[in-house]
Structure 1
């Protein structure tokens, strides 16, 4: 009788483990997607900031500088 309960519990735990591993993979994929989105947003912010700086410099009569990375 005890063996049957142990085997049942073992199967329950294996099932929970598999679910947990799948969920962790989903979260890892979601994290990568969010990370890529943030990278794109940061790039857009940088471009817009540079355009704004150039426009501001042009309106002040200054020559915009080129920044080399």
Structure 2
């Protein structure tokens, strides 16, 4: 019985470690995605401003 409990505890510890690793990877992906979205938003803003200036110059 004690060996079974010990074995189960080791399995759970391994699963916990895997879960922590997955969370860390997801957090890195989330940070990278946030950075990408910020860059895209900035690029859109610049292009909108350039288009607005072009329209003003055309008038």
TM over 0.5: yes
Structure 1 runs of 4+ with >6 Å offset: none
Higher helix share: 2
Larger Rg: 1
Does 2:26 align with 1:27? yes
Report the count of equivalent residues. Answer: 59
What are the ranges of 5 or more consecutive residues in structure 1 without an aligned counterpart?
61-69
Provide the rounded CA distance (Å) in 1 between the counterparts of 2:13 and 2:38. Answer: 38
Let me know the Cα RMSD of the aligned residues: 0.4
Choose between structure 1 and 2 for higher RCO, CA contacts under 8 A separated by at least 6 residues.
Answer: 1
